[in-house]
A = this chain, B = another copy of it.
Amino acid sequence: MTAATPKGERRRQALVEAAAGLLVDGGFDAIRHRAVAERAGLPLASTTYYFDSLDELVTAALEFQGNAELAYGKARLDELDPAECGGDAFVELVLDLLLGPSGNRDAEAVLLRYERLVATGRRPYLRPLMRRMSGELHSLLFDIFARAGQPVSRERVEELIALVDGAVVNALIEISPDPRAAARRMLGKAMQPR
């Protein structure tokens, strides 16, 4: 159900944000009616009033989080100074877009981005949303490469994303996972001038 009153809309939004927070901290399984309500400081029943099912709440949380990440990416694109796109700095920029800002407690925060992809395998209802966000991310990267004076084809963007994603999922099984370092290594090598 959708809210019809301003206050209702605010409450609904508070629930979405709480759910998104839980999503980041604990993954999809952490989004539960009771946990969301508590985190938002609202009663349990408010979650079932504004969302017909838990899936709907999960979808809203994912959309909120995804949009936040895309907004961050767009901001980085806007403030991009082509002069400061030396090799290493540019690699870090791309990693920021794909994995989130560095300084995130890493393995933890990166994990969610990949749980999302894989979870979509068993939750088909997330696919349309994930497709949209993935498409926007690709476009964003495409623009960033162009803006940085290193234009690439869309196909090449897909390759680089795949390389980073693969490096990350394989890094997750290390004793002390450092997925960003693994991705940096692969990406740095792939982007080296030939």
Contact = CB atoms under 8 A, between A and B. Distances in A.
A118 interface: yes
Interface in A93-139: 107, 111, 114-115, 117-118, 120-122, 126-128, 130-131, 134
Given A118-B114, A122-B27, A170 B174 contact: no
A172 interface: yes
Count the copies.
2
Contacts of A115: 118, 121
Interface string A171-193: 01111010000000010011000
A170 B158 CA distance: 9
Interface residues of A, number: 35
A167 interface: yes
A127 B173 CA distance: 5
Contacts of A118: 111, 114-115, 118, 169, 172
A28 to B, nearest CB: 10
Interface of A: 27, 107, 111, 114-115, 117-118, 120-122, 126-128, 130-131, 134, 158-159, 161-167, 169-170, 172-175, 177, 186, 189-190
Closest 10 CB pairs of A and B: A162-B166, A166-B166, A165-B166, A130-B173, A111-B121, A117-B169, A121-B172, A162-B167, A120-B173, A118-B118
